Structure 1
Amino acid sequence: MKKLILFFVTIVTINVFNCSLVYRVTGRTLNSYAADNLVPYLLASDDIDSVCTGGTALGPLIASFERVGTSVELPVMVAQMGAGICAERKAQEAELSYLAAVKKGKGEEASDFQAVQIRQHGLAAKRYGDSYNRFLQYFGEWKGKCPSMNDEEEFYFMVGLASGLLAILHDRAAQGYAGITTEIPSVVSQASKCLEPKKWWGTPLAFEAVVWLSVPGATPEGKDAFKQLEEAVRMGDQAGVRLSRAFQLQGVAGRGNLELMKKLIQEHAKSLEQSPPKKEFRLLETFAESLSRHESDKIWVKETGHRGPIHFGQFPGGKRKNAKEDDDLLKDL
């Protein structure tokens, strides 16, 4: 009987050990595949809704392999950033619905859409915040010294800083619901200096300038946040990765300068016509473009009650492209 019990225990132990080993091997394989193939594939996609849905669905699966000892910080960081984009887009949709309801004088409906908007900003802040936490897990807490990085790690370093900045911006829009640490702007401002601006399309300069605009008294003497954003945008336009434009819009939005916002949107639209995006980073291009289109739609909804044309850069009262084609499409409605 004792031999039978011993045999049974041995078999169970071997099976448990083998399962654990299989899980670890699978986790390492999945992590390697995600870093080598999945992340580059997502970055090259211009289907932002597909990418954000993929991040929401795959993030928990990849993260679950931590339970068997696999390091998954980098792919989960990107997945959670994608998931944050999903919540951000829902917040944008709720904001447009809110503005349309206000335009129609539907107070209760407007209040409900505003509540949805705030909640989705909170969810976006949480997801971007988790992405930033993965950044800290991989690179360590910021101690004022730049880590040693290869090109691939520098890219992830930039993504982590972007997530942190977006987490702060969305948490403010959510009235502090996500409880994102207020230390992030200081970290982003300092750590962005670890990245060479021209190499990374001006984005480090944009990070720093947005922090200056969002934190009273943060702008160093002799510096101009708007001029630095313009320099960052110029670098991004030349490289075909206009991520800096996304942060330029984030920095200007809500400051009440409608004419400046229109000017920036029109410049973005013109830049897209003049130079094609860098294929391997089309997702970042599409993200920036979606923000310009959203700000354009806000202007249209406030003035007309409906969104603007799909080719943004035109505003109510201005000369429209393809006006005849628009009339032909609408004549039977």
Structure 2
Amino acid sequence: MRNQNSKIVLFLFVTVVTINSVSCSFVYNVTGRTISSYAEDHLIPYMLESKDLDSICSAGVSLVPLIASFERVSKRPDLPVLVAMLGAGMCAEKNAQEAELHYLAAIRKGKGDEATDYQAIEIRNHGLAAKRYGEAYQRFNSYFGEWNGNCPSLSKDDQFYYLIGLSASLLAILHDRAAQGVGNVPTDIPSIVSNASKCLNPEEWWGVPIALEAIIWLSIPGVTPAGKDPFQQLDRAVALGDKAGVSLSRAFQIQALAGRGNSEAIKKAVKEHAKILDKSQSKKEYQLLESYAEQLSRHESDKIWIKEKGHRGPLLLGSFPQGKRDLKEDDDLLKGL
């Protein structure tokens, strides 16, 4: 009798555990699908409409583990993670920019050890940005499939994510190079971006597809087609972006000019960007991309100010140092601080 009771208890225990396991699995699966759907329908549009770059990049860092964890019990939330990783990459990129400004200031002051330290911080953050943008590239591949030379069939919404995925992929390569390759980003990305960008109409997507192509031409010696000028193509991309009210092409133009170290060309581009920002004609649904482009312009502006004057530029973007400032004037401005 006792043996029979033990069997009944064991049976009941196994039954309860099984039911609980199945129930939990079901709940997790439903929750995962709900979170993924919510992220695509509401979280991503909210992030893209935000002008607060710091907030969104921090949100990207915080939300990626939560959103990505649901792929353990549900379908892979590749698109939400792609956008969140883009935001997370922007955080690391901004930290690298800050370190670069400190590095330039230390160089100007002749503080070699301090400059070396900030340079190390800059390189590490470029590496972190490369890894985060690289994860966005992996999510892009997971959702759309490996590039096989043929353009996939894309809905209008898919085209947007395709564009963002290509942009993140290129940023992964650019930051990996700045980090001396510590991000271990796949080296075939430039070829993929160059070819896959042709799957999108530059007239419809703010000139970004041809901007991506131009950046590839500038990044790899000898690949620019005969009769093509990368900077002229970037100018065309920027014009299309300005017309559409989305400045992402300007972000890539600024990066290209910075890579060439042409300060006069950078000043011209930043001044033109400042005029566009003054007109406030950007699209509401893509304010995050506008803020990212503005941050890049401001960074290049601050670099010029620090090199020439030892401090960052004014809040109003588009002005640059004019001649030598009187040292007494600097002392007067700093009194009481």
Q: Do they fold alike, i.e. is TM over 0.5?
A: yes
Task: Percent identity, please.
Answer: 63
In 1, distance between residues paired with 2:62 and 2:8? 47
Tell me the equivalent position of 2:190: 185
> What secondary structure does 1:254 align onto?
helix
- Partner Cα distance (1:247, 1:327) in 2: 38
**SS class of match (1:198):** coil
Distance apart, 1:167 and its partner CA: 0.3
Where does 1:80-229 land on structure 2 (aligned, <5 Å)? 80-229=85-234
Question: For 2:17 and 2:333, how far apart are their aligned partners in 1?
Answer: 69
The one-letter code matched in structure 2 to 1:234 is A
Tell me which residue corresponds to 2:35.
30
- C-alpha distance in structure 1 between counterparts of 2:315 and 2:148, whole Å: 45
CA-based RMSD: 1.8
Q: What residue in structure 1 maps to residue 263 of structure 2?
A: 258
Does the 8 Å contact 1:206/1:244 carry over to 2? yes
Distance 1:331 1:270, change over 3 A: farther
State the Cα deviation string for residues 186-227 of structure 1 (Å, max 9, x = none).
000000011110111101010000000001111111211111
Paired amino acid for 2:271: Q
Q: Which amino acid aligns with 1:21?
A: F
Cα distance in 2, alignment partners of residues 106 and 173 from structure 1: 22
SS, match of residue 312 in structure 1: coil
Unaligned runs of 5+ in 2: 1-5, 325-329
| 1:17-56 alignment runs, 5 A limit | 17-56=22-61
1:235 equivalent to 2:240? Answer yes
User: TM-score, normalised to structure 1's length?
Assistant: 0.95
CA distance in 2, matches of 1:8, 1:305: 73
Tell me, in whole angstroms, the C-alpha distance in 2 between the residues paired with 1:139 and 1:301: 43
Q: Identify the range of structure 1 (260-269 vs 136-145) with the bigger mean alpha-carbon deviation.
A: 260-269
The count of corresponding residues between Structure 1 and Structure 2 is 328
Among 290, 297, 302, which residue is 1:297 paired with? 302
Question: Structure 2 length normalisation: TM-score?
Answer: 0.94
Task: Determine whether 1:282 maps to 2:287.
Answer: yes
Any conservation in 2 of the 1:237–1:275 contact (CA below 8 Å)?
no
Q: Which consecutive residues of structure 1, in runs of 5 or more, have no partner in the other structure?
A: 320-325
Report the alpha carbon displacement of residue 274 of structure 1 after superposing the two structures with TM: 2.9
Please give the secondary structure, in 1, of the residue aligned with 2:260: coil
Tell me how far apart the structure 2 counterparts of residues 126 and 47 of structure 1 sit (CA, whole Å): 23
**Which amino acid counterpart does residue 253 of structure 2 have in structure 1?**
Q
Contact 2:33/2:74 (8 A) holds in 1: no
Which of the residues 61, 67, 72 maps onto 1:62?
67
Larger Rg: 2
> Quick one: distance in 1 between partners of 2:284 and 2:332?
35
